[in-house]
């Protein structure tokens, strides 16, 4: 690489948004960009030209191989130093927690690739590092929230389940097990509308899925959906749920993470078949009674307990 090529090469690396450094075959730093200066507090002029794993000190406070060094090492050495390294072609990728980087530690995503000269010989390695601590902390908080929520949901008297934004079941309570005969362990983690099968015998969106759909799609799939804020409520008859069908009241609401982003939806389902059958029976009884009274020779009317005329 001539001087002009190196200047261009260094300029490109310097303006990369992620913290990046380059080492040669001897393990000496040949480039250390601005984002790496910000991340580590180490200026390029004080680290370029240094070797002997000096560049590991800002991260581990001891000298040790970084991911870029593993590019030059055999596979067994890579596996020994990093538990979860993903290899994509000749590139190494890893998520790692570094306890000593700052108080409380930090999570990083790192990627290292070999660099080649014009003859396609390896001339060095480049490593890009991204601080993903905020994302990891948010994921951990979400997991904790989901665990707490699952415990609460499990003891709800109504059947309830939760899906994430991908439509995968992340909670399925005891009442839902009783209602459907499907155990939580066999449905949690399933997607592709698998959770609709106990109700419809075919895969189709449930009310919870409509939380992620536009208004027009909601109106197309359910005739009488009531919207209360960001919650959807519906009474529905499902013919295939059991012989003779069943009436259900269902309510679905979005779930939000601590940052206010929707991460899923919860649907609560109540079997209201007995109530609906009783209402239908009452209507039929009133109709029959009205017909009988209508043919009586004498004037007659019927009132209910509230004093309202019903026939």
pLDDT for 6: 63
3-state SS record for the chain: CCHHHHHHHHHHHHCCCCEEEEEECCCCEEEECHHHHHHHCCCHHHHCCCCCCHHHHHHHCCCCCCHHHHCCCCHHHHHHHCCCCEEECCEEEEEEEECCCCCCCEEEEEEEEEEECCCCCEEEEEEEEEECHHHHHHHHHHHHHHHHHHHHHHCCCCEEEEEECCCCEEEECHHHHHHHCCCHHHHCCCCCCHHHHHHHCCCCCCHHHHCCCCHHHHHHHCCCCEEECCEEEEEEEECCCCCCCEEEEEEEEEEECCCCCEEEEEEEEEECHHHHHHHHHHHHHHHHHHHHHHCCCCCCCCECCCCCECC
HSE-up of residue 28 (Cα within 13 Å, Cβ side): 6
Residue 292 confidence (pLDDT): 72
pLDDT of residue 311: 58
Strands 246-256 and 226-228: unpaired
* CA–CA distance, 134 with 257 (Å, rounded to integer): 14
Contacts with 276 (C-beta within 8 Å, 6 or more apart), sequence order: 247
Q: What pLDDT is recorded for position 63?
A: 95
Q: Would you write out the chain's pLDDT as a tens digit for each of its 311 residues?
A: 555 556 666 677 888 999 999 999 999 999 999 999 999 999 999 999 999 999 999 999 999 999 999 998 887 777 777 778 888 889 999 999 999 999 999 999 999 999 988 888 999 999 999 999 999 998 888 888 878 888 888 889 999 999 999 999 999 999 999 999 999 999 999 999 999 999 999 999 999 999 988 877 777 777 788 888 999 999 999 999 999 999 999 999 999 887 888 989 999 999 999 888 887 777 777 777 766 766 666 665 556 667 676 65
pLDDT at residue 15, rounded to an integer: 82
Residue 87: what pLDDT?
87
In this predicted structure, what is the pLDDT of residue 186? 96
**pLDDT at residue 124, as a whole number:** 94
């Amino acid at each position: 690489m001539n001087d002009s090529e190196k200047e261009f090469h260094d300029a490109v690396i310097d303006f990369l948004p992620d913290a990046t450094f380059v080492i040669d075959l001897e393990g000496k730093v040949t480039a250390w960009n601005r984002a790496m200066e910000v991340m580590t507090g180490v200026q390029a002029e004080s680290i370029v030209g240094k070797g002997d794993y000096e560049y590991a000190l800002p991260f581990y406070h001891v000298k040790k191989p970084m991911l870029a060094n593993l590019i030059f090492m055999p596979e067994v050495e890579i596996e020994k130093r990093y538990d979860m390294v993903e290899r994509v072609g000749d590139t190494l990728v890893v998520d790692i927690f570094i306890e000593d980087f700052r108080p409380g530690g930090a999570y990083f995503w790192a990627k290292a690739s070999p660099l080649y000269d014009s003859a396609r010989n390896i001339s060095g390695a480049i490593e890009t590092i991204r601080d993903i601590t905020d994302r990891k902390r948010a994921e951990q908080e979400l997991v904790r929230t989901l665990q707490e929520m699952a415990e609460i949901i499990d003891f709800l008297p109504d059947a309830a389940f939760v899906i994430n934004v991908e439509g995968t079941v992340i909670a399925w309570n005891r009442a839902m097990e009783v209602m459907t005969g499907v155990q939580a362990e066999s449905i949690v983690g399933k997607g592709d509308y698998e959770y609709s099968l106990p109700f419809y015998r075919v895969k189709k969106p449930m009310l919870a899925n409509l939380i992620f759909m536009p208004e027009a799609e909601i109106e197309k799939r359910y005739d009488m959906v009531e919207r209360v804020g960001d919650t959807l409520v519906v009474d529905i008859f499902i013919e295939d749920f059991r012989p003779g069908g069943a009436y259900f009241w269902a309510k679905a609401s979005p779930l939000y993470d601590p940052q206010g982003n929707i991460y899923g939806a919860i649907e609560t389902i109540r079997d209201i078949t007995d109530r609906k059958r009783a209402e239908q029976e009452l209507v039929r009884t009133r109709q029959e009674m009205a017909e009988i009274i209508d043919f009586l020779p004498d004037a007659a009317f019927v009132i209910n307990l509230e004093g309202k005329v019903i026939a």
